[in-house]
Structure 1
Amino acid sequence: MKKMSMMLFTTFFCSSLLLSACTKDTAAPAAPSTAKESATASNVAPVGQFPIVKDKITLKVAIKGSSLVEDMKTNGYTKWLEEKTNVHVDWTILDEKSSKEQLNLLLAGGSLPDVIMNLDVSPEQQMIYGEQGVFVSLTDLIEKYGENTKKIFSEMPEAKSAVTAPGNKIYTLPYINDCFHCSLDFKMYVYKPWLDKLGLKEPTTLDEFYNMLKAFKEKDPNGNGKADEIALIGGAGSTATKSQVDVFLMNSFIYDDGFKRMTVNNGKVDVAYNKPEWKEGLKYLNKLYKDGLLDRQSFTIDKAGLKTIAENPDIAIGGAIPAHSPSDITIVEGKSGRWLDYQPIAPLKGPNGVQKATWLAYDKVSNGKGQFIITNANKNQEATMRWADAMYTFEAALYSNFGVEGSSWEKAKPGDLGRDGAPASYRLLIPYGRVQNENWAQYGLNYRTDKDYYAGQAVLKLPDKEKMYYDITKKNYDPYKPKLEEIVPPIFFSPAESQQLADLDKTINDFVVSNIALFTTGDQDIDKGWDNYIATLEKMNLKKYIEIYQKALDAKNVKK
């Protein structure tokens, strides 16, 4: 069955790689080394002038849908950006949960959009499609039309490094979110009123965490006389990636980055999920599950489902929930007030003294994933570059993430101070995280710096969301983050290596994730099944997988 699954995936992936090496009977066009000026370039205004085109153009843009945006076509930011740039957008909205599969089908179908935006195109795919000329190299376009982009590259060299492929090719523009609390966002939120009612302190060890959950389950902390408390529940799927139940707890045994679960030890790439410590972490998860403290829905429920549990009407039923922030599981400044009741606890000390926090050190540059790609179907590449570059302004960031000026935000008033006591630059009028039609809910391109964007928001009343997020992260998570050299940086691979990784990466990581669920729930016995699990990883060519990463990391380090 496993072999058949791998064959099916390989077949599907080959069909999705348009003009790639999987298609042997089709001649691939040579990738242009530079972007030549198109016939439509004369319609583009000089850099710094708006609108960016004299005669309105339409761009076909494929983007992942957002449950927080009512309609991208009539959205307030969409209208503002069109008025400013004279660029109209014809949207192709991909399903939020199956966007990767839909993107592959879109690419395989031959009818390409002009722009692929916010679809997390991997560095491997960027290399494959870039080398075939399907994705346009932006290097020359940035040099000529990327006023803001070049400024960002100068101020944040790691952003340029993250998106620069071999041969000085840039196939995607970076999405910048230099958010301190977001970089340490695999947190565990605990419902504090239950701790207070039961006379419990915040747990600091795995044993104390177990005892807290047992009390939540058995001592009726919500006081309704029913056994309806859910002690611990996590989330699954693309909308709940920061709510995976294993990440926070596994970091008490071995470092878990929540994604590929890779680390760098003394310059050597390695993985966590084939180590004895990983096995011990799975045993702890299984113990929580067997004792009824970990809800089975943890491997099926999405972010919306978690929010339904945390915001259960009238009475609280959720005890501990891993999440990025309160906005993931509660309604910030909502009537229930639970966004303040759920508070993140610090990483727990494990049996061998391990106590780590997942640090997404490169997440501020989207870890090299493609967030804005121009395809070879685009006849207005110069105008598209200027349109993208316009999204990097501070004003655009406020429209993109909050909404219309005067409705969702306004300029700071004299005396307004940010979270650090410095003069603020803007006021937020409506809390983020609700379904609306004024902003793109953090989609598009962004240049959000911690200093200007996050610390620049005026603190109008306490508790203040941004100040609270910053303070609790600084106190409970920052002391436990790993060293930067222990984290795998954004890496590009050769086309041949990209082809190999495209299969290996998904096959191996899907297998790991599925076995976390199987071992945790006891559907597969840990002691009896561990050797077979390790043997299967070896058959999946884990050794080659690590070697490819090692070779690319070594090459990246040589270039420094």
Structure 2
Amino acid sequence: MRKTTKLGLLAVLTMSLVLSACSKDQPAAEQNGSKESPNTSKVNSPGKFPIVNDKITLKVFVAGNALVEDFNTNRYTKWLEDKTNIHVDWIVADVKNYKDQLNLTLASGDLPDVIMNMGVSPEQQMIYGDQGVFVSFTDLIEKYGENTKKIFQEMPEVKDAITAPGNKIYSLPYINDCYHCSLDYKMYVFKPWLDKLGLKEPTTTEEFYQMLKAFKEKDPNGNGKPDEIPLVGSTNQKSQIDVWIMNSFIYDDGDKRMFVKNGKIDVAYNKNEWKDGLKFMNRLFKEGLLSKESFTLDKDGLKKIAENPDIAIGGALPAHSPSDITIVEGKSNRWVDYQPIAPVKGPNGFQKTTWLAYDKIRGGNFIMTSANKYPEATMRWADAMYDFEANLYSNFGVQGSSWEWAKQGDVGRDGNPAKYRLLIPFGRVQNESWAQFGLNYRTDKDWYAGQAVLKQPDKEKMYYDVTKKNYEPYKPKINEIVPPLFFAQADAQQLAELDKTINDYVMTMTARFVTGDADIDKEWNDYVSTLDKMNLKKYIEIYQKAYDAKAKK
């Protein structure tokens, strides 16, 4: 059911010996960035632009972005090139299959200079880092990372989260300190239907069931046709149907399905509470309240349902924000009509929401390979992206067209003087920005609260207020959440195979149990037994070992 966000790490294992042989041809000092390259003299000192006087070209492998028309002709690409004198030869991977394409590229040995926005896992960073294929930024940050070091000072947890054993930093951090994003798995309900049917927002799983039943049977859109879809999700990670619902039974982190209890790491998907959650979803499916399209629709398909022309047909849709399912500030006004309800209490009183406590620190999104001939210039190029003005260009577009500096009297969402004005709402397909790709340093205070409130309803303020009211009260404690972890190479290699085998199986069986393709009562014990045979115990032990090592630092 859950579309995996992990890289295919088995490809890493396949190539380990090949990479080991290849890396022996390169000096270790060059592999880990501990010595400057011969191109150092061409790089201007930190703070001085352009970065290089003689233009250079970097080959950058980037995940596709559906909101960006063309990285080559993009106006932020041009702005950054003019500022730095660094040209980019883009290799743009397919939006849906970029992780597979990355694995093939790494296996081929024909490496790009930079891997960007691919979400390379800590396991893969360790394996390729130890082989010398990924280059450590640690020394480069000290010499050229002016903005990066500032981030480390302002958010010390960032450096801790991205530093691998041996004081190696294989990936520069992407920082998005977005409050409403940290409580990201929300359930949006079409409020006009609640009002028409005289329903209150549900507070329990049974009330949620009754709400969906009313959506199906009482013609809330008033057209006399049984065309209402009570509940529908998609394969897009934040719109997967199971996470919000499962948190009424047992904590679901939306990814590994792991949690920490009394200092011990455990998984949710072999517990009786998980089984109860599956049975509830199966009940919804059997009664036609949960659409079977939830397991095949992509993000665009879900948005078509929410934005169905002329008349609403979608009742409840899980999503990160209205922009995932509607056209923000669009003519239909559905972006206001769909409102997120609070997590509902399960039959045993459990009521949580997924808290992405460490999600503001995203690793694996900017990696340099051993093929790069300009490590110092690359470090400065990446570091320049953290600048506040660069963030405005990279996220929104051109000054004067998509955004402008705040005017006298402009007030931000926190009541203090604003820093900038957003002129065009985020979420359109365009060619002015990278649409939140590249590297960012967006703090809640400067970025979100610092945006001028120009009209009501204000999108970000609405997101903040509803998150504070409906989701903040139900987040777990920080010591119940598995933090970012790095693993020793031997453990990482074993974990790679276990992780894929176990999580692929869980994903498959979750879908089968919910849709009734597998009988929960008859096949549950076999399911748990199969997980044990897949060496789930060892899988958890590897995580516990890394967790304990981190706790001792």
TM-score higher than 0.5 here? yes
Match for residue 115 of structure 2?
116
**Paired residue secondary structure (1:165):** coil
Which of 353, 376, 384 lines up with 2:378 in the alignment?
A: 384
Match for residue 308 of structure 1?
304
Distance 2:27 2:482 in 1: 31
**Paired residue secondary structure (2:54):** coil
Which letter maps to 1:170? Answer: I
Give the 5 Å matches for 1:90-105: 90-105=89-104
Distance 1:246 1:282 in 2: 8
Give deviations 1:184-217, integer Å, cap 9, x for gaps.
0100000001111111111111111001100111
Match for residue 355 of structure 1?
351
Kindly indicate whether the alpha-carbon contact (under 8 Å) linking 2:247 and 2:353 is maintained by their aligned counterparts in 1. yes
Match for residue 81 of structure 2?
82
Match for residue 154 of structure 1?
153
- Cα 1:308/1:129, change in 2 over 3 Å: same
Distance 1:373 1:261 in 2: 27
Distance 2:492 2:500 in 1: 12
Which letter maps to 2:185? Answer: F
Stretch moving more, 26-35 or 469-478: 26-35
Q: How far 1:510 moved relative to its partner? A: 1.2
- Cα 1:17/1:409, change in 2 over 3 Å: farther
- The yes-or-no answer on 1:228 pairing with 2:221 is no
Which letter maps to 2:178? Answer: C
Q: How far 1:30 moved relative to its partner? A: 6.8
Kindly indicate whether the alpha-carbon contact (under 8 Å) linking 2:9 and 2:500 is maintained by their aligned counterparts in 1. no
Match for residue 173 of structure 1?
172
Distance 1:548 1:508 in 2: 14
Match for residue 334 of structure 1?
330
Which letter maps to 1:359? Answer: W
Distance 1:431 1:68 in 2: 13
Kindly indicate whether the alpha-carbon contact (under 8 Å) linking 2:12 and 2:124 is maintained by their aligned counterparts in 1. no
Which letter maps to 1:284? Answer: F
**Paired residue secondary structure (1:59):** strand
Distance 2:18 2:36 in 1: 24
Give deviations 1:226-278, integer Å, cap 9, x for gaps.
11111000111xxx100111100100000000000100101000000000000
**Paired residue secondary structure (1:269):** strand
Aligned residues: 544
Which of 253, 262, 268 lines up with 1:257 in the alignment?
A: 253
Kindly indicate whether the alpha-carbon contact (under 8 Å) linking 2:180 and 2:464 is maintained by their aligned counterparts in 1. yes
Which of 286, 308, 312 lines up with 1:290 in the alignment?
A: 286
Distance 1:320 1:169 in 2: 45
Distance 2:17 2:397 in 1: 37
Which letter maps to 1:392? Answer: Y
Q: How far 1:11 moved relative to its partner? A: 6.5
Q: How far 1:31 moved relative to its partner? A: 4.4
Q: How far 1:162 moved relative to its partner? A: 1.1
- The yes-or-no answer on 1:405 pairing with 2:399 is yes
- Cα 1:144/1:318, change in 2 over 3 Å: same
Distance 2:15 2:426 in 1: 36
Kindly indicate whether the alpha-carbon contact (under 8 Å) linking 1:184 and 1:360 is maintained by their aligned counterparts in 2. yes
Kindly indicate whether the alpha-carbon contact (under 8 Å) linking 2:239 and 2:319 is maintained by their aligned counterparts in 1. yes
- The yes-or-no answer on 1:106 pairing with 2:100 is no
Kindly indicate whether the alpha-carbon contact (under 8 Å) linking 1:220 and 1:229 is maintained by their aligned counterparts in 2. yes
Distance 2:54 2:9 in 1: 45
Kindly indicate whether the alpha-carbon contact (under 8 Å) linking 2:23 and 2:133 is maintained by their aligned counterparts in 1. no
Match for residue 467 of structure 1?
461
Kindly indicate whether the alpha-carbon contact (under 8 Å) linking 1:30 and 1:131 is maintained by their aligned counterparts in 2. no
Which of 532, 544, 554 lines up with 2:526 in the alignment?
A: 532
Match for residue 320 of structure 2?
324
- The yes-or-no answer on 1:523 pairing with 2:479 is no
Kindly indicate whether the alpha-carbon contact (under 8 Å) linking 1:60 and 1:115 is maintained by their aligned counterparts in 2. yes
Q: How far 1:27 moved relative to its partner? A: 5.9
Distance 1:193 1:266 in 2: 44
Kindly indicate whether the alpha-carbon contact (under 8 Å) linking 2:358 and 2:484 is maintained by their aligned counterparts in 1. yes
Which letter maps to 2:316? Answer: A
Q: How far 1:18 moved relative to its partner? A: 6.9
Match for residue 135 of structure 1?
134
Distance 2:377 2:10 in 1: 37
Q: How far 1:19 moved relative to its partner? A: 3.4
Match for residue 4 of structure 1?
none
Distance 1:197 1:19 in 2: 64
Q: How far 1:158 moved relative to its partner? A: 1.0
- The yes-or-no answer on 1:441 pairing with 2:440 is no
**Paired residue secondary structure (1:170):** coil
Give deviations 1:117-166, integer Å, cap 9, x for gaps.
00000000000000110001110000000000001011111111111000
Give the 5 Å matches for 1:459-498: 459-498=453-492
Distance 1:469 1:143 in 2: 37
Q: How far 1:518 moved relative to its partner? A: 0.3
Which of 388, 394, 399 lines up with 1:394 in the alignment?
A: 388
Which of 483, 507, 511 lines up with 2:505 in the alignment?
A: 511
Match for residue 269 of structure 1?
265
Distance 1:212 1:429 in 2: 38
Give the 5 Å matches for 1:239-254: 240-254=236-250
Q: How far 1:10 moved relative to its partner? A: 8.2
Which letter maps to 2:383? Answer: D
Distance 1:554 1:14 in 2: 25
- Cα 1:200/1:160, change in 2 over 3 Å: same
Kindly indicate whether the alpha-carbon contact (under 8 Å) linking 2:10 and 2:496 is maintained by their aligned counterparts in 1. no
**Paired residue secondary structure (1:313):** coil
- Cα 1:163/1:543, change in 2 over 3 Å: same
Give deviations 1:309-336, integer Å, cap 9, x for gaps.
1011111110000000000000100111
- Cα 1:311/1:17, change in 2 over 3 Å: farther
Q: How far 1:387 moved relative to its partner? A: 0.2
Q: How far 1:539 moved relative to its partner? A: 1.0
Match for residue 4 of structure 2?
none
TM-score normalized with structure 2 length: 0.96
**Paired residue secondary structure (1:96):** coil
Q: Which runs of 5+ in 2 are unaligned?
A: 1-7
- Cα 1:175/1:117, change in 2 over 3 Å: same
**Paired residue secondary structure (2:495):** helix
Give the 5 Å matches for 1:196-211: 196-211=195-210
Match for residue 3 of structure 2?
none
Q: How far 1:306 moved relative to its partner? A: 0.5
Distance 1:76 1:455 in 2: 26
Distance 2:115 2:521 in 1: 45
Runs of 4+ aligned structure 1 residues displaced above 2 Å come to: 9-21, 25-35
Which letter maps to 2:201? Answer: E
Give the 5 Å matches for 1:17-36: 17=16, 19-20=18-19, 31-32=28-29, 33-36=32-35
Q: How far 1:283 moved relative to its partner? A: 0.3
Q: Which runs of 5+ in 1 are unaligned?
A: 1-8
Which letter maps to 2:192? Answer: P
Q: How far 1:35 moved relative to its partner? A: 2.7
Which letter maps to 1:242? Answer: K
Distance 2:292 2:378 in 1: 46
Q: How far 1:542 moved relative to its partner? A: 0.5
Which letter maps to 1:352? Answer: N
Which letter maps to 1:255? Answer: Y
